[in-house]
C-alpha cells in the first residue's frame, strides 16, 4: 500500500463508515422485529462482522464524542511522516545527483562544518511541532481519562475467553454483548478474572488493559445508534481471537427495553432458585437458614402447616398467604419475641419473585436442599 494513497484513503474511510452504519441499522431493525415477535432472547445478527463493506483498512466510522481529537492527531502524524519522508527522499536524490563525483568538479576543502541559521531552523521547527503535538495529545488524553460525572456505570469482566457485562440492575448480558443508550456517557469499570486482557472498541477509539485484581476504567458517549465491533487487543491465550463481540448502541428508549428484557430473562429460572437469589439479596441480613436467630426468626423453622405464635397472643398456621403477607405487609402479624422491624418489600419484589421466595422457603424443609 503506497503512502500517498494512505492520505487519500481517509476519504474512502468515510464511505466505509457509512457501510458500518447501514449494517448497524439493519441489525437494530432485526432486533426490533425480534422484540415485536415477543422473543425473550434477542440475538443481534453479527452483521457488523459479516458485511465485507465494514472490513476497512482505514479508520472505522467514528461514533463517540472523543474520537475527533484522536483522529486528527493520528492522521496529522501520518501526514507529517509522509511529508518528511518525501522531503528527505527528494533532498537525498537531488543532492546525490547535484554533488556526484565527476571530472571537473572538485570537492571544496575544508568542507563547511557549521551553519547557524540552518541549525536553528531545523531545531526550532521540529521542536515547535513536537510541543504542539504533545499539548494536543495531552489534552485528548485528559479528556479520555476523565469520565464525566453521573455517567452510566457498567461493569466489565474479562475472562478466558469472553467478555462479561454486568448492568446496574445486577444482570449480565446473556450473549456477552455490551448494550448502551445513545448520547449518554458510559463509564466501564473493568477487571479480569484470569489474565491481562485489553478492551478495544475501534469505532470509539478507546482501548484499555483489563487487569486481574484491580480496576481500570474507560468512558465513551456514543453518538450514533448502531452495532460496533469490540475486541480483546492483548494476546491472552488460545482463543484470544475469539474474544470479539459487539457493542449495541440503542436508540432512545431502546436501552430501557433491553434492560427490562434481560431482567425478565434472568427471572426465567426454577422458582426456588430465583427465591434463593432474592434471599441472598434481600433477606440474608436478618434471616438465617440454619436455625440460629438473627434479627428475625430463621427460615429453617418456617415450616408450612406449622403453628406460629404472634405478639397479640393469637396463633396462626403458616401457609403461602402468611409468608406473602409477611413480605409485603410485615407489621400485619408480628412473631412473638421479635421486634416489628422488618421492612416491607411491597414494590421491591414482584409477584414472580415472591413466588420464588415461597418456593425457596418450602424447599428448605422438603429435603431438596440437603
Which positions touch ligand HEC (CB under 6 A)?
A: 278, 282-283, 285-287, 295-297, 302, 308, 323, 326-327, 330, 334-335, 338-343, 345, 357
Task: Collapse the DSSP code of 121 into the 3-class scheme (helix H, G, I; strand E, B; otherwise coil) and give the result.
Answer: helix
Report whether 224 contacts 182 (CB < 8 A). Answer: yes
Tell me whether residue 15 or residue 169 sits nearer to ligand HEC (CB atom).
169
Neighbouring-strand partners of residue 316? 308
> From Cu ion, ligand HEC, none, which one binds at residue 326 (CB under 5 to 8 Å depending on kind)?
ligand HEC
Selection from Cu ion, ligand HEC, none that 236 binds (CB < 5 to 8 A by kind) is Cu ion
What number of CA atoms fall less than 13 Å from residue 218's CA on the CB side?
A: 21
Q: How far is the CB of 285 from ligand HEC (least distance, A)?
A: 5
- H/E stretch holding 71: helix 67-98
- Pairing mode, if any, of strands 185-192 and 152-159? parallel
Among ligand HEC, Cu ion, none, what binds residue 195 when CB lies within 5 to 8 Å by partner kind? Answer: none
State the Cα–Cα distance between residues 263 and 170, nearest whole angstrom: 9
197 binds Cu ion (CB under 5 A): yes
| Binding residue for Cu ion, selected from 42, 201, 236, 278, defined by CB under 5 A | 236
| Rounded Cα gap, residues 222 and 21, in angstroms | 13
Record the cell numbers describing residue 58, joined without a space. Answer: 482505514
Least gap, CB of 157 to Cu ion (angstroms) = 11
Partner in contact with 179, chosen from Cu ion, ligand HEC, none, beta carbon below 5 to 8 Å by kind? none
Partner that binds at residue 283, options ligand HEC, Cu ion, none, CB closer than 5 to 8 Å by kind: ligand HEC
Q: How far is the CB of 309 from ligand HEC (least distance, A)?
A: 9
330 binds, among Cu ion, ligand HEC, none (CB under 5 to 8 A by kind): ligand HEC
Tell me how far, at minimum, the Cβ of 337 lies from ligand HEC, in Å: 8
210 is a contact residue toward Cu ion (CB under 5 A): no
186 lies in the binding site for Cu ion (CB under 5 A): no
Nearest to 166 by CA among 174, 154, 176: 154
DSSP category for residue 366: S
Measure the CA–CA gap between 63 and 152, rounded to whole angstroms: 17
Angle, CA of 175, 179 and 180, to the nearest 5°: 170
Looking at beta carbons only, is 164 or 324 nearer to ligand HEC?
324
190 binds Cu ion per the rule CB under 5 A:
no
Q: Residue 295: which of ligand HEC, Cu ion, none does it interact with, CB under 5 to 8 A by kind?
A: ligand HEC
With CB under 5 A as the contact rule, the residue among 42, 232, 327, 361 that binds Cu ion is: 232
Beta carbon nearer to ligand HEC, 218 or 278? 278
Strand ranges in 83-177 using DSSP code E only, listed in sequence order: 152-159, 162-166
Measured CA to CA, the distance from residue 35 to residue 265 in angstroms comes to: 13
* CA distance linking residue 206 with residue 200, whole number of Å: 6
Binding stretches for Cu ion (CB under 5 A): 197, 232, 236, 243
Amino acid at each position: 500500500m503506497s503512502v500517498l494513497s494512505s492520505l487519500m484513503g481517509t476519504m474512502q474511510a468515510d464511505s466505509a463508515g457509512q457501510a458500518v452504519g447501514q449494517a448497524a441499522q439493519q441489525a437494530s431493525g432485526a432486533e426490533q422485529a425480534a422484540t415485536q415477535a415477543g422473543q425473550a432472547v434477542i440475538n443481534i445478527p453479527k452483521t457488523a462482522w459479516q458485511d465485507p463493506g465494514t472490513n476497512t483498512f482505514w479508520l472505522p466510522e467514528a461514533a463517540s464524542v472523543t474520537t475527533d481529537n484522536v483522529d486528527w492527531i493520528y492522521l496529522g502524524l501520518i501526514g507529517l511522516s509522509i511529508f518528511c519522508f518525501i522531503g528527505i527522499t527528494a533532498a537525498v536524490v537531488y543532492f546525490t545527483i547535484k554533488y556526484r563525483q565527476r571530472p571537473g568538479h572538485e570537492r571544496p576543502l575544508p568542507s563547511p562544518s557549521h551553519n547557524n541559521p540552518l541549525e536553528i531552523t531545523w531545531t526550532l521547527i521540529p521542536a515547535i511541532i513536537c510541543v504542539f503535538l504533545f499539548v494536543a495529545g495531552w489534552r485528548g488524553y485528559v479528556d479520555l481519562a476523565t469520565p464525566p460525572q453521573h455517567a452510566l456505570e457498567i461493569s466489565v469482566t474479562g475472562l478466558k475467553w469472553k467478555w462479561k457485562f454486568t448492568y446496574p440492575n445486577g444482570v449480565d448480558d446473556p450473549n456477552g454483548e455490551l448494550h448502551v443508550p445513545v448520547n449518554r456517557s458510559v463509564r466501564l469499570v473493568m477487571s479480569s478474572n484470569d489474565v491481562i486482557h485489553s478492551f478495544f472498541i475501534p469505532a470509539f477509539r478507546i482501548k484499555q488493559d483489563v487487569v486481574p485484581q484491580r480496576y481500570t476504567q474507560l468512558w465513551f458517549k456514543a453518538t450514533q445508534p448502531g452495532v460496533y465491533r469490540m475486541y480483546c487487543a492483548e494476546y491472552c491465550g488460545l482463543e484470544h481471537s475469539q474474544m470479539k463481540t459487539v457493542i449495541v448502541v440503542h436508540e432512545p428508549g431502546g436501552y430501557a427495553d433491553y434492560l427490562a428484557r434481560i431482567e425478565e430473562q434472568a427471572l426465567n429460572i426454577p422458582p426456588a432458585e430465583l427465591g434463593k437469589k432474592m434471599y441472598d439479596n434481600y433477606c440474608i441480613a436478618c434471616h438465617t437458614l440454619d436455625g440460629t436467630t438473627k434479627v428475625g426468626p430463621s427460615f429453617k423453622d418456617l415450616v408450612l402447616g406449622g403453628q406460629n405464635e404472634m405478639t397479640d397472643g393469637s396463633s396462626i398456621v403458616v401457609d403461602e398467604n402468611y409468608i406473602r403477607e409477611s413480605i409485603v405487609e410485615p407489621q400485619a402479624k408480628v412473631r412473638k419475641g421479635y421486634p416489628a422491624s422488618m421492612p416491607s418489600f411491597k414494590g421491591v419484589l414482584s409477584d414472580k419473585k415472591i413466588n420464588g421466595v415461597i418456593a425457596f422457603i418450602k424447599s428448605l424443609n422438603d429435603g431438596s436442599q440437603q
